[in-house]
Structure 1
Amino acid sequence: MCTGKCSRMIGIILFPLGTCAIICNLLLYFPNGKILEMDQITDYVWYFHGIVGAGLLVFLTAFMTLGAGGEGCCANRCGMLLSVLLSTLGAVGGAYCVVISAMGLVKGPLCDPGDGNYIYPFRNDTDEESYLFRQDAWDICREPQNIVLWNIVLFSILLGIGGIETLLCATQVINGLVGFVCGTCLRKRKTGVA
Structure 2
Amino acid sequence: MALETCGSCLSCLLIPLALWSIVVNVLLYFPNGRAGYQLPSYVWHFEGICFSGVMILLLAVILIALECSVFYRCCESESCNKTYRSFLSIVLALLGVAFSGYSCIIFTWGLIQGPFCNSSGGWDYIFKDTAGGYLTDYSAWSRCTEPANVVAWNISLVSVLMALSGLQLIICFLKVAAELKRTLCGTYSVFVQARIL
User: Normalised by the size of structure 1, how large is the TM-score?
Assistant: 0.84
| Equivalent-residue separation in structure 1 for 2:40 and 2:142 (angstroms) | 17
Q: How far 1:80 moved relative to its partner? A: 1.5
Q: Partner residue of 1:192?
A: none
Task: Quickly say closer, same or farther: Cα 1:119–1:94, change in 2 above 3 A.
Answer: same
The question of 1:178 aligning with 2:181 is answered yes
Q: How far 1:49 moved relative to its partner? A: 1.3
Q: Partner residue of 2:103?
A: 97
What amino acid is the match of 2:158?
F
Write out per-residue CA displacement over residues 160-189 of structure 1, whole angstroms, 9 at most, x where no aligned residue. 1111100100111111222233349xxxxx
User: What secondary structure, in the 3-state scheme, does the structure 2 residue paired with 1:164 have?
Assistant: helix
Write out per-residue CA displacement over residues 5-56 of structure 1, whole angstroms, 9 at most, x where no aligned residue. 433311111000000111111111111221125xx10111111111122112
What amino acid is the match of 1:166?
L
Q: How far 1:4 moved relative to its partner? A: 6.2
Task: Quickly say closer, same or farther: Cα 1:57–1:126, change in 2 above 3 A.
Answer: closer
The question of 1:112 aligning with 2:118 is answered yes
The question of 1:122 aligning with 2:127 is answered yes
Contact 1:6 1:69 in 2 (8 A): no
Q: Partner residue of 2:76?
A: none
**Root mean square deviation of aligned Cα:** 2.2
Greater helix fraction, Structure 1 or Structure 2: 2
Q: Partner residue of 1:46?
A: 44
User: What secondary structure, in the 3-state scheme, does the structure 1 residue paired with 2:123 have?
Assistant: coil
Contact 1:91 1:170 in 2 (8 A): yes
Q: Partner residue of 1:191?
A: none
Contact 2:118 2:145 in 1 (8 A): yes
**Count of equivalent residues:** 180
User: Normalised by the size of structure 2, how large is the TM-score?
Assistant: 0.83
User: What secondary structure, in the 3-state scheme, does the structure 2 residue paired with 1:112 have?
Assistant: strand
What is the identity percentage for the equivalent residue pairs of Structure 1 and Structure 2? Answer: 34
Contact 2:7 2:174 in 1 (8 A): no
